C-alpha cells in the first residue's frame, strides 16, 4: 500500500502510530542521504512504535473495533481464499437464473484437502462496492450458497464459510423474491448437513445476513471483527431515536470477539497481527489457516451424527439464561 493510500484509509486512533512510523522513515532516509549512523535511534523509535501499537490495539473500544471490521483495506473472503488455498475454482449461479456477486464460493484445496469455501464479498472501492452491493446478499446469493453447500455435503467435502456483511439486502425487490425464506431455508439445511462446517466472522457479521451462512460446528471470530444482531447505528436509532449514540449501543450490544467468547456465542478467537489484519494481510491469512486446519482435524474425527448433535446443542444454548430470585 502506498503512503497516500494508507493516509486516506487511516483511522483516528491509528494517527499517532502513523506519525511515529513516518518520523522513523524520515530519519532513516535522511541518515542514508547524509551517510550518518543512527541505528541506535532507529531501534529506540521502532521499539516505541511497537509499544504504542500494542497500547492502541489492546485497548480498543467496541466502536473502534467496529471501525476496524469495516476498514476498506481489511482482507476480504477472496483475499483469504487466494492466500490460504492451494487451488481455487470459483462456482457461479443459484441455478435459478441469478448470480449474486455479494456472495462468492467454490471448491478449493486447503493443505491438499478438498473443501468448499464461500462467503460474503465486499468491494475495495465505491464502484466495486456498488457491484458487490456492499456485501449485502440477495435471496439469490443465499440460494447460491446453499447450492454450493449441498454439493459439498453430497461429495463429503468440509464447508468453510467467511462472514463479512452489514446484513442481508433489505430492499423491496429482495423481499419480493423471498429474502426471509431463503435465509430460513439455509438455517434448516445447514443443521442437517453431515460434513464438518466451520464458520468464521472475518469482518462485520450483521443480523440474518450473517446467520444465512453462519450455522456451523465451530464459530470462529477474528480478533477485531464484530458480530451483532443489528448495527450499533440502527440499534441507537431504534432505542434512543438518535443514530449518533451508536458508541453507547456498541457497548450494550456486546459485539466484540471477547464479549461473545465470554457469552459462549463463539468458540474461538483467531488472533490478528499487531495493527490489525489490514496491516499484515498475509500474516492474518496464515493465522486463520492454522485455526481452520486445527478445527477441521478435530471435527473430522467425529461421526456425522456427533457433529449434527454438536451443532444443534451449540445453537440451543445461545440465549439461555438463569433467573436469580432474591
Burial of 189 (0-12, 13-18, 19+ CB in 10 A): middle
What DSSP character marks residue 215?
Answer: -
The rounded mean pLDDT for the chain is 89
pTM: 0.88
Burial of 85 (0-12, 13-18, 19+ CB in 10 A): buried
Task: Copy the grid coordinates of residue 293.
Answer: 486446519
Helices 15-34 and 39-57 cross at an angle (nearest 10°) of: 170
**CB atoms near residue 156 (< 10 Å):** 11
Angle at Cα 77 formed by Cα 76 and Cα 78, nearest 5°?
Answer: 90
- Domain locations in the chain? 10-59, 66-317
Q: Where are the alpha helices (DSSP H) in the chain?
A: 3-8, 15-34, 39-57, 62-69, 77-84, 126-132, 139-154, 172-176, 179-192, 207-211, 232-240, 246-253, 257-263, 281-300, 304-317
How many Å apart are CA 195 and CA 203, to the nearest integer?
A: 25
Question: Domain 66-317 falls in which CATH fold?
Answer: 2-enoyl-CoA Hydratase; Chain A, domain 1 (3.90.226)
Q: What is the pLDDT of residues 39-98, one digit of tens each?
A: 777 788 878 878 878 778 878 899 989 999 999 899 999 999 999 999 999 999 998 888
Q: So what's the pLDDT on residue 1?
A: 46
Q: What is the pLDDT of residues 213-226, one digit of tens each?
A: 999 999 999 999 99
Out of 13-17, 92-96, 247-251, pick the least confident. Answer: 13-17
Q: Could you tell me what percent of the chain has a pLDDT over 90?
A: 61
140 has a pLDDT exceeding 60: yes
Amino acid at each position: 500500500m502506498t503512503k497516500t493510500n494508507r493516509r486516506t484509509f487511516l483511522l483516528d486512533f491509528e494517527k499517532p502510530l502513523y506519525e511515529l512510523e513516518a518520523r522513523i522513515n524520515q530519519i532513516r532516509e535522511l541518515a542514508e542521504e547524509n551517510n550518518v549512523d543512527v541505528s541506535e535511534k532507529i531501534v529506540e523509535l521502532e521499539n516505541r512504535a511497537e509499544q504504542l501499537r500494542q497500547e492502541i490495539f489492546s485497548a480498543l473500544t467496541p466502536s473502534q473495533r467496529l471501525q476496524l471490521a469495516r476498514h476498506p483495506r481489511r482482507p476480504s473472503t477472496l483475499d483469504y481464499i487466494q492466500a490460504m488455498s492451494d487451488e481455487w475454482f470459483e462456482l457461479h449461479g443459484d441455478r435459478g437464473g441469478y448470480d449474486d456477486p455479494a456472495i462468492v464460493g467454490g471448491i478449493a484445496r486447503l493443505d491438499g484437502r478438498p473443501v468448499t469455501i464461500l462467503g460474503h464479498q465486499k468491494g475495495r472501492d465505491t464502484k466495486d462496492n456498488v457491484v458487490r452491493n456492499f456485501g449485502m446478499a440477495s435471496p439469490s446469493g443465499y440460494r447460491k450458497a446453499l447450492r454450493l453447500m449441498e454439493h459439498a455435503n453430497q461429495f463429503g467435502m468440509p464447508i468453510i464459510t467467511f462472514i463479512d456483511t452489514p446484513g442481508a439486502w433489505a430492499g423491496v425487490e429482495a423481499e419480493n423474491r423471498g429474502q426471509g425464506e431463503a435465509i430460513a431455508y439455509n438455517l434448516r439445511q445447514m443443521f442437517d448437513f453431515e460434513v464438518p462446517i466451520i464458520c468464521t466472522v472475518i469482518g462485520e457479521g450483521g443480523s440474518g445476513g450473517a446467520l444465512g451462512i453462519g450455522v456451523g460446528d465451530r464459530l470462529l471470530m477474528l480478533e477485531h471483527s464484530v458480530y451483532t444482531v443489528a448495527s450499533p447505528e440502527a440499534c441507537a436509532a431504534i432505542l434512543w431515536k438518535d443514530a449518533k449514540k451508536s458508541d453507547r449501543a456498541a457497548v450494550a450490544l456486546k459485539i466484540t470477539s471477547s464479549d461473545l467468547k465470554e457469552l459462549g456465542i463463539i468458540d474461538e478467537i483467531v488472533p490478528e497481527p499487531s495493527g490489525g489484519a489490514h496491516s499484515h494481510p498475509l500474516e492474518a491469512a496464515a493465522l486463520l489457516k492454522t485455526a481452520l486446519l486445527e478445527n477441521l482435524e478435530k471435527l473430522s474425527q467425529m461421526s456425522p451424527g456427533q457433529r449434527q448433535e454438536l451443532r444443534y446443542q451449540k445453537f440451543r444454548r445461545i440465549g439461555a439464561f438463569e433467573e436469580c430470585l432474591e
